[in-house]
Structure 1
Amino acid sequence: MASLLRASALGLTLAVPALAQFVKAPTDLTTTKGYLDLPVRWKEVPEGTCELTPDVKSYSGYVDIEDSQHIFFWFFEARDQKPEDAELTVWINGGPGSSSMIGLFEELGPCRVDIDGNVVNNPYAWNNVSNMLFIDHPAQVGFSYSTPIPSYISSQSSVVQLPNATCPEYAADLDCATRSQPVQTDTANSTSAAAPSMWKTLQGFMGAFPQYSRTEFNFATESYGGHYGPIFNAYIESQNKLIKNGSLPGAKNINLRTVLIGNGWYDPLIQYQAYYNFTVYPGNTYDYYPYNKSVEAQIYNALYGPGNCYDQTVACNTGGLDEICSAADSFCANEIETPLDNEGRDEYDIRELTPDPFPYSFYTTYLNSEKLQQAIGAYVNFTSSNQAVGSAFGSTGDDDREDGTIEATRSLVEQGIYVVQFAGDADYNCNWLGGEVIAHNVEAPGFGSAGYTNITTSDKVVHGQVKQSANFAFARIYESGHEVPFYQPLVALEMFNRSIHGLDIASGEQKISRGCEYKTVGTPKSEYREGNATVQFKVLPANAIYNTTLNGPNPTNGTNSTDVVGKKREATKRGMFAKQSLKSKRTFKPTFGRKMK
């Protein structure tokens, strides 16, 4: 079989590496045993690779959870407190198949990369207030790998294995590089199947770096994290019970405190309907209606017609057969979700046309540089989203399954875990209208009678509203696409800081615990409407700058990107956290893993 594979197309890749080259296996990794005797290979990352704050350490490496599953991590110490006393927060992106380097470099990590490839400071980094651990999960995602192979990308976008690390003349223009062998059996094919590997990765890291895991643990995610967050943490809690009764000797109890999920994909039956709600009726708060009456009618029929999306998704979630769920997801995605793409709108920010330069993606060039890969001990080139993983999940129809996400969330709340769901209200892909219904379906005590109130932040600007009862909250963030920490970095950081310290989201002044009497007071619905002032009706240039004061592109591009990124915002303004972009993010829809961020 191996010889056949070597001569054939092995799989597909979504994001082709920039500056691709064959990666030399690192020789400077230290091997340590984590909990459960899991091998952890790691190194201290040189200062300035991403973290620019003096004396704030960074580590990267791999947890070898199986012989063919090597999970990449990148850890950053807390900046503003003693790291040994700070809490540990893990961040994972969604997909399924998306790298957490998206979150690190586009959203909430300690650095960004400017148009010239320079590393610049992110003043709104979440490691200001917590130790941060970014994990590429499951195997084959991002820098994680199963088996590294020399390869090129065929004209059909397939990964083709080469006999050795030499790029032949016929492949000179076909992105020769080292990639993970895209074998679906060497990665997870569902959320529930991925949960044990995430738990093992945490066991490995915490055992190798016990000084950073002595206090509470927080889990933050987005997008397909609406599946990952509830299910992974329910698994962590179930493992904790086994540890406490002595059934898992050698494992560490993970003291889970907080779960944060941004623009999550939780329940397809609700959220496919929310596509119609967001674009047709009652519509979005930007007063933008993308379809004519004919397309609106087509979408309605594709949703509710006999045997169509709604019926197929019900059949998936009652019968559970992989082929039924996979077919349902393909139908719903093509007929309900995709029409917005046909209008040239960005699913992740309905205000923008495609190609959309925001958030910026040129950090991928940096991640595929030899200097960076040597600095972090990488074994493979970087791709932002892995098709083998997405296809594996697609084969089981995981995207179309609710899979117990709501019940798992309810259970976490009942156990006293602080759960915060938040959503940028310009995102169509995992939009806030569906997210709000999900939040109510959790049925957290007192949540149904709570009201929306403004979120106050240090800049004295209202960035959104929150509805909260005790240790469960749902926040709508204004003027934000799918990746809230990019579009609204200040409120994202302050929400995060409040939640991990057990404080209310609205003000950060009330202590929160399970069963406490805290409940927000206000209107039953969040009624603020932005209107279409920030909706773009022309395609933006690739070098556009996003201005977080204007909630849109700068009128001119005259500001130096490095100066803008590094500039602290004034206390009374939302300010500007922006860079220029060399190229836009993905502008096509894959047939898998649609919640890519």
Structure 2
Amino acid sequence: MFRVTVVLAALSAATALQATVRMAPVAASVCADSVKQYAGYVDVSDEWNSHYFAWLSESRSNPSADPLIVWLTGGPGCSSSLAMFGENGPCTYKPDGTGTVYNPFGWNSKANVMFIDQPAGVGYSYADRGGYSHNETQVGEFMVAFFTGFYKKYPQFANNPLYMACESYGGHFCPATTYALLQSNKLAGTNFPIKGMSIGSGLVDPAAQYPTFPAFVHDWCIEKLGRPCVDQSGYESMVAASPKCSELIAQCQVNTSACEPAKQFCNAAMFGPYDATGFNPYDIRSKCEIPPMCYNFTGLTSFLNLESTKKAIGVEGHDWAPCNSQVYTDFDSDWMKNMAWTIPPILEADIRVWVYAGDVDFIVQWIGNQAWTESLEWSGAKGYNATVLKPWTWNGKYAGKHHSFGGLSFTTVSNAGHLAAHDQPESTLGMINAFISGQPLPTA
């Protein structure tokens, strides 16, 4: 029923909404890049007074022909501006919050890139409280509505290849959006030019990912750091809790009322021993200096709440925060839902999928990401699972490991945490450019 609902909701959004788009040009001085930029709102629901904020930066190369990458940050409940100004956007923020500086590794080097705050309540996006999303049916519905309005306002991008790119809980958001766009094309006659989907350190299939945490904190941490990431008692408690965690995740797939208890138990069991160490769950090499996010976003918060900034991007009257705890809580029953079921039909439709993960991220670690890609049932499964991880390089230096078959690729990014593009901006730019151009990664 869930899958049918996704399709019907997306089709309703594509055919019924007459979206108003309030995006306008942005002066280059706001985000330090000379390319054309546009920011503002797309109205995605009249019923719920729901408005999604987006910021589009044109390609530094050939905007009329280059692909459009659309980025969704995870959380759930965190703003895509965190990535735009802290990872892979055209500019980065000054620590004192007074402005921005040019980012030479922005993903708009060979692509138009748009960052969207979604769902409602995230970043600058807003809606009536009843319009806040709490599952992937609604995510898909509102994102189809967003694109419906966006392409009416900016038809010059309608023929540019579209690539979704997401991070963290975006492992739910990206599959939901891509699948909804695909179904809208098939059943509602839309022509969304979706060609690919990239997921960075994403939570996609909890049933495949959660059982790998004990191996990560013990075996991989010893290999990478020379020590386990938790003490022996913590490791043993994780191993002991794993069967019950898997059982609860399985129950969640058939009974939504079991999903919140599954999240509570599994996160306590798998994250608790690591959290007790005081180390950063987003980078196992360092301590968490500023809990709970472990990174200092005060400069970005100051910049995005300057009245001059808000006026320049059309969000006057709205304040910005990195994450929204209410939105996070709203997705409690969605967290443990498996979104991997969307991947086979996406692949069979010749929409390529590139999964990557930093090899020093704990919170959505690489072993679990590899595991869910290998558990997929699709026409290329045998060929994909027969391949092995091999080193890839960037500018002649080791950059991680990679394997690919058909339309599915999996990549580790060496010495990168959860925010891979922040930690390794040069190699991740090379990776995404290889993806959108259909080229292989350089190998050792």
TM-score (structure 2 length as normaliser): 0.90
| Cα shift at 1:276 | 1.4
Q: Any conservation in 1 of the 2:119–2:132 contact (CA below 8 Å)?
A: yes
Residue of structure 2 equivalent to 1:223: 168
Pick the aligned partner of 1:202 from 147, 161, 180. 147
Matched, 1:467 2:403: yes
Q: Is 1:364 matched with 2:343? A: no
The one-character-per-residue Cα deviations of 1:131-183 (angstroms, maximum 9, x if unpaired) are 11110011111100115xxxxxxxxxxxxxxxxxxxxxxxxxxxxxxxxxxx2
2:425 aligns with one of 477, 481, 489: 489
Partner of 1:65: 44
Query: Cα–Cα, structure 1 residues 505 and 258, in superposed 2: closer, same or farther, change >3 Å?
Result: farther
How do residues 236-385 of structure 1 correspond to structure 2 at under 5 angstroms?
236-244=181-189, 252-281=190-219, 283=221, 285-304=224-243, 308-317=244-253, 319-321=254-256, 323-355=257-289, 361=297, 362-378=299-315, 379-385=317-323
1:114 and 2:94 are equivalent in the alignment: yes
Q: Structure 2: how far apart are the matches of 1:221 and 1:111?
A: 19
Give matches, 1:109-258, under 5 Å.
109-116=89-96, 117-147=98-128, 183=129, 185-244=130-189, 252-258=190-196
Which position in structure 2 is the counterpart of 1:77?
A: 58
- Aligned match of 1:93: 73
Residue 499 (str. 1) matches residue 405 (str. 2): no
Structure 2 residues not aligned, in runs of 5+: 1-14
CA deviations on 1:400-454 (whole Å, 9 max, x unpaired) are 111xx22211221121111100000000010001011111112534111112222
What is the CA-CA distance between 1:309 and the residue it aligns to? 1.9
Task: Report the AA paired with residue 60 of structure 2.
Answer: R
- Highest Rg: 1 or 2? 1
The residue type paired with residue 234 of structure 2 is: V
- Contact 2:208–2:375 (CA under 8 A) maintained in structure 1: no
Q: Distance in 2 between matches of 1:309 and 1:129?
A: 43
**Over the residues paired in the alignment, what is the CA RMSD in angstroms?**
2.0
Distance (whole Å) between structure 1 residues aligned to residue 295 and residue 41 of structure 2:
28
CA contact (8 A) 1:256 1:417 kept: yes
Amino acid at match of 2:267: A
Cα offset, 1:358, TM superposition: 7.3
Alignment partner, residue 370 of structure 2: 436
Contact 1:114 1:120 in 2 (8 A): yes
Q: Please state if 1:387 is matched with 2:325.
A: yes
Give, in angstroms, the shift of residue 338 of structure 1: 2.4
Query: What's the % identity of the aligned pairs?
Result: 29
| SS of corresponding position for 2:176 | helix
**1:51 and 2:35 aligned:** no
Tell me how far 1:243 sits from its aligned partner.
Answer: 3.1
* Maintained 8 Å contact 1:131/1:212: no
Q: 4+ residue runs of structure 1 moved beyond 4 angstroms? A: 281-284, 356-360
Q: Given residue 58 of structure 1, which amino acid in structure 2 is its aligned partner?
A: Q
CA contact (8 A) 2:30 2:99 kept: no
Quick one: which amino acid aligns to residue 328 of structure 2? G
Matches within 5 A, 1:574-589: none
1:471 Cα offset (Å): 1.8
Q: Find the aligned partners of 1:399 and 1:134 in 2 and give their Cα distance.
A: 23
Q: Partner of 2:83: helix, strand, or coil?
A: helix
What corresponds to 1:538 in structure 2? none
On the 8 A contact 2:20/2:43 being kept in 1, the answer is: yes
**Whole-Å Cα distance in 2 between the matches of residues 502 and 35 of structure 1?**
35
- Answer whether contact 2:358 2:418 (CA < 8 A) is retained: yes
Residues 506-545 of structure 1 mapped to structure 2, 5 A cutoff: 506=442
Q: TM-score normalized by structure 1?
A: 0.67
* Deviation readout 1:350-392 (Å, 9 max, x if unpaired): 1110116976522121111111111111141001111221121
**Pair 84,282 (structure 1): closer, same or farther in 2 beyond 3 Å:** closer
Aligned residues of 1:106 and 1:360 also touching (Cα < 8 A) = no
Match of 2:391 in 1: 454
CA distance in 2, matches of 1:114, 1:386: 23
Please tell me whether the aligned partners of residues 17 and 44 of structure 2 are also in contact (alpha carbons under 8 angstroms).
no
- The Cα of 1:282 is off from its aligned counterpart by 5.6
Query: What's the CA shift for 1:320?
Result: 2.0
Q: Is the 8 A contact 1:142 1:384 kept in 2?
A: yes
Any idea what SS the aligned residue of 1:71 has? strand
Q: Give the 3 Å change call, closer, same or farther, for CA 358–336 of structure 1 in structure 2.
A: closer
Q: Secondary structure at the match of 1:280?
A: helix
Determine if contact 2:74/2:168 at 8 Å carries over to the other structure.
Answer: yes
Question: CA offset at residue 200 of structure 1?
Answer: 0.8
Segments of structure 1 that go 5 or more residues without pairing to the other structure are 1-33, 148-182, 245-251, 508-521, 523-597
Is residue 2:18 matched to residue 1:37?
yes
**Residue-by-residue CA offset, 1:255-310 (whole Å, 9 max, x unaligned):** 11111110010111222222212113464532331332222222222323xxx322
C-alpha distance in 1 between matches for 2:408 and 2:442: 12
Q: Return the alpha-carbon distance in structure 2 between the equivalents of residues 408 and 333 of structure 1.
A: 24
Task: Determine if contact 1:35/1:206 at 8 Å carries over to the other structure.
Answer: no
Q: Give, in angstroms, the shift of residue 123 of structure 1.
A: 0.2
**Does the aligned pair in 1 maintain the 2:289–2:295 contact within 8 Å?**
no
